Amino acid sequence: MSVNGATRSRGFEPELVSVPEARRFVMDALDGWGDDDARDAVMLLVSEVVTNAVQHGRTDFEVAVRMQPHEVTVEVADHNPRMPQPCLAPPDAPSGKGLLVVDATAASWGSERHHDGKVVWFSVTPDGNGVPG
């Protein structure tokens, strides 16, 4: 696949099994892009954002991967209009830290209202920009 502007997308069900399926889908799309640290960061972020879609969106969702030579952007769109809210969970809490991980790891990220729900997206660069050292 050409890296310049290549986009792949796939739909998923709101089930926990979709988290590893989405990681595999994104990993396949990233073949030949970036270094191992950047790909590892993308996989971590996919896990966090897709888990949020499953647990909080609770609707079918779509994962789109857009690759540019110097950036990959992953978008997760669901049909729930409730926007994500980063929270400061206690250190011993079993959940509630996903968006903080996204904020600390991605080069950029955000969420936008969609005509029938929302899109949560993040970007990572192949040289490790946005990837903790």
Smallest Cα–Cα separation from 8: which of 46, 36, 41? 46
Model confidence, pTM: 0.88
Using CB atoms within 10 A of its CB, is residue 109 exposed (0-12), middle (13-18) or buried (19+)?
A: buried
Query: Structural domain boundaries of the chain?
Result: 6-124
Per-residue pLDDT of the chain (133 residues; tens, 9 = 90+): 345 678 999 999 999 999 999 999 999 998 877 677 888 999 999 999 999 999 999 999 999 999 887 899 999 999 999 998 877 777 776 667 888 899 999 999 999 998 899 999 999 987 655 554 4
68 Cβ contact partners less than 8 Å away, ≥ 6 residues apart: 3, 4, 5
User: What is the CATH code of the structural domain delimited by 6-124?
Assistant: 3.30.565.10
